[in-house]
Structure formats: C-alpha cells, structure tokens
C-alpha cells in the first residue's frame, strides 16, 4: 500500500514541472528549427507560459504573507 501512495505522491509532485519543461523544450526547438512565422509565434507563446506561471506563483506566495 505504501508503494501506491509514494507513486501517487511522485506523480503529483512532478507533473507540472515536467509539463513546463516539455513546453520549454518545444519552444526552444520550434524557435531553432522553425522556418516560418508560425513556428516563431508558437515558440514565443511556449516560452512565455512558464514565465507567466512563475510570476503567478510568486504573486500568490507574496499575497499569502
């Protein structure tokens, strides 16, 4: 039973950091390998989302104080 709880905890802890890392990787690769304007726009969006999440989390942390 403990293995199930620890696995659930592991997935719950790491799902958002892994998703943001994947989004960042997509943004970097689309900026490097994309040859048209749509890929550059997608890279800007993909690289902006993690920054917005960081700013939002920082705001929530400061508001809780």
Residue ranges per structural domain of the chain: 2-64
Cα dihedral: 20, 24, 25, 30 (round 10): 140
Predicted TM-score (pTM) of the model is 0.77
Closest CA to 23 of 52, 1, 3, 43: 43
Residue 57's alpha-carbon distances to 10, 22, 24, 30, 50, in angstroms, are 21, 19, 17, 26, 11
Cα dihedral: 34, 39, 42, 43 (round 10): 30
Q: Helix (H, G, I), strand (E, B), or coil: what is residue 1?
A: coil
Each residue of 11-56: pLDDT tens digit? 889 999 999 999 999 999 999 999 888 999 999 999 999 999 999 9
């Amino acid at each position: 039973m403990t293995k199930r709880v620890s696995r659930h905890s592991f997935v719950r802890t790491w799902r958002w950091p892994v998703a943001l890392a994947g989004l960042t990787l997509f943004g970097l690769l689309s900026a490097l390998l994309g040859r048209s304007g749509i890929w550059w726009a997608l890279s800007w969006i993909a690289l902006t989302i993690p920054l917005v999440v960081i700013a939002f989390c920082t705001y929530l942390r400061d508001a809780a104080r």
